[in-house]
Amino acid sequence: MTRDYYVIKEDGTWKVKLERGRVLSTHRSQKAAKREAKRLARNNDRGIVVNAAAGYTRYNIPADEV
């Protein structure tokens, strides 16, 4: 089972993080973080989970739809 990429807001910045792993990149906007997560997901055949600023999951994108 592959781990997904998460787009999260932490310490006032948006971050792309590997599920149960480390932060891969930091961005000023959620849009930029989602763009980077999509690029990584396409290259590594993984899904994406996008969280809202409040912390709940807004939506997820399965690996076959990235």
Q: Which tokens in the block code for residue 10?
A: 């932490």
Q: Are 62 and 47 in contact (CB under 8 A)?
A: yes
This prediction's pTM:
0.93
pLDDT tens digits for 5-56? 999 999 999 999 999 999 999 999 999 999 999 999 999 999 999 999 999 9
Query: What is the count of structural domains for the chain?
Result: 1
Structural domain range at position 41: 5-65
> Which stretches of the chain are DSSP H helices?
30-44
Cα–Cα distance, 19 to 15 (Å, whole number): 12
- Candidates 51, 27, 17; CA nearest to 61 is 51
